[in-house]
Amino acid sequence: MANNNIILTGFMGSGKTTLGLRLSYRLRLPFLDTDNLIVQKAGMSIPEIFETQGEAAFRQMETELLKELRERTGRYIISTGGGTPLREENREALKQLGTVVLFRVSPEEVWNRIGKDKNRPLLQCDDPQQRIRDLLAERTPKYEAAADLIIDVDGKEFAEVLQILEDNFS
Ligand code: S3P
């Protein structure tokens, strides 16, 4: 794969998939979503992978997928899972694949957007609100370390974020 892809990173609910699809349409570049590619390969949903194989196996699938993406040709918009930049080797792989964008989001905004979403196994616990705060506190330095461009998305409409992306990538 070429090294000039546009990689979208950020916490669950930060808008990676929605904005990635819209940007793909605007820039006329194909769209890939790492979660979807993993689901296709595994033949089961993300909650099923977590339940039957565990989080560690899912993390390994993410790392392997990033290696495979390097073999593809063409330029893509790539939306990643919220945990993809956590491993150092993944951060390096992301940087090699292209320009890494971080959608930075507050715990309150995440809670409003996806707090009750059953498709996020990490949030199926007694206190998902606290879980979001803890995960974000732990992950933010890693997200920022991987990012070439940081966009604060709290309080912004998708159209506004899309415009920032277009200004940077057109
Ligand atoms: C995860 C985020 C999810 C998915 C999995 C784990 C995480 O992706 O990869 O549930 O660790 O934050 P989204 O960010 O697309 O929800």
For 75-134, what is each residue's pLDDT tens digit?
Answer: 999 999 999 999 999 999 999 999 999 999 999 999 999 998 999 999 999 999 999 999
Check pocket membership of 121 for ligand 1, CB cut-off 6 A. Answer: yes
Check pocket membership of 12 for ligand 1, CB cut-off 6 A. Answer: yes
Cα(170) to centroid(ligand 1), Å:
28
| Residue 36: per-residue pLDDT | 98
Cα(147) to centroid(ligand 1), Å:
17
For 140-157, what is each residue's pLDDT tens digit?
Answer: 999 999 999 999 999 999
For 119-129, what is each residue's pLDDT tens digit?
Answer: 999 999 999 99
Distance of alpha carbon 70 from alpha carbon 57, whole angstroms:
21
Q: Is the dihedral of CA 13, 17, 22, 24 positive or negative?
A: positive
| Residue 170: per-residue pLDDT | 87
Check pocket membership of 83 for ligand 1, CB cut-off 6 A. Answer: yes
In the predicted model, is pLDDT for residue 1 greater than 60? no
Residue with tokens 């590619």: 37
